[in-house]
Amino acid sequence: MTDNRDAVVVTASRYPHGYATVRSLGHRDVHTIAAVDDESLSVTASRYCDESVLVSPPSDLPAYRDALLGLAARPDVRTIVPHRPHDPYVLAKYADEFERHVDVVVPNLETLQSVHDRKQLAEAAKQADVAIPDTQLLGDVDDWSGDRVVKSRYNLLTDTYLEEFTFEDSTIAKSVEHVPAGETPDVDTLQAEMGHEPIVQEYVEGEEYLFGALYDHGEALGTFQHRQLRGDSYTGSGGVFRESVDIPELEDAGRAILDELEWHGLACIEYVRDTKTGEFSIIEINPRMWQSLACATRAGADFPAWYWLAATGRSDLIEPGYDVGVGTHYLYGELEHLVSVIREDSPFVERPPLPGRAAEIIGSCVTTPQFDYGHLDDPRPILRQVRTELEGAVTRRFGSGSN
pLDDT tens figures, 34-90? 999 999 999 999 999 999 999 999 999 999 999 999 999 999 999 999 999 999 999
- Give the angle 196-201-206 at the CA atoms, nearest 5°: 135
**Residues in Cβ contact with 83 at an 8 Å cutoff, skipping those fewer than 6 apart:** 10, 11, 12, 13, 15, 17, 18, 21, 288, 289
Q: Taking 90 as the threshold, does the pLDDT of residue 100 lie above it?
A: yes
CA–chain centroid gap for 388, Å, is: 23
- Tell me the per-residue pLDDT of 341-399, one tens digit each, with 9 for 90 and over: 999 988 999 999 999 999 999 999 999 999 999 889 999 998 888 887 776 655 655 66
Q: What is the mean pLDDT of the chain?
A: 93
Task: Note the pLDDT of residue 173.
Answer: 83
Q: What is the pLDDT averaged over residues 176-205? A: 92
pLDDT at 327: 97
C-alpha span between 393 and 293 (Å, rounded): 27
User: Do residues 82 and 96 lie in contact, with contact meaning Cβ atoms separated by under 8 Å?
Assistant: no
Nearest CA-CA partner of 5 in 347, 332, 312, 272: 312
Distance from first CA to last CA of the chain, Å, rounded?
A: 58
**pLDDT exceeds 80 at position 186:** yes
> Model confidence at 140, in pLDDT bands (50, 70, 90)?
very high
In the sheet with 199-202, reading across from the earlier edge strand, the strands are: 135-137, 199-202, 148-151, 176-179
Does residue 293 have a pLDDT over 80? yes
pTM strictly above 0.85 = yes
Q: Sketch out the chain's domains with CATH numbers.
A: 7-105 (3.40.50.20), 134-202 (no CATH)
| Predicted pLDDT at 396 | 52
Question: φ and ψ at 340, to 5 degrees?
Answer: -65, -35
Mean pLDDT for 207-234 is 97
Q: Strand order of the sheet with strand 77-81?
A: 51-54, 31-36, 7-10, 77-81
**Crossing angle for the helix pair 86-93 and 109-116, nearest 10 degrees?**
150
Query: Is the pLDDT at 403 greater than 90, yes or no?
Result: no
pLDDT tens across 113-127, in order?
999 999 999 999 999
Q: Give dist(CA 300, CA 320) in Å, integer.
A: 8
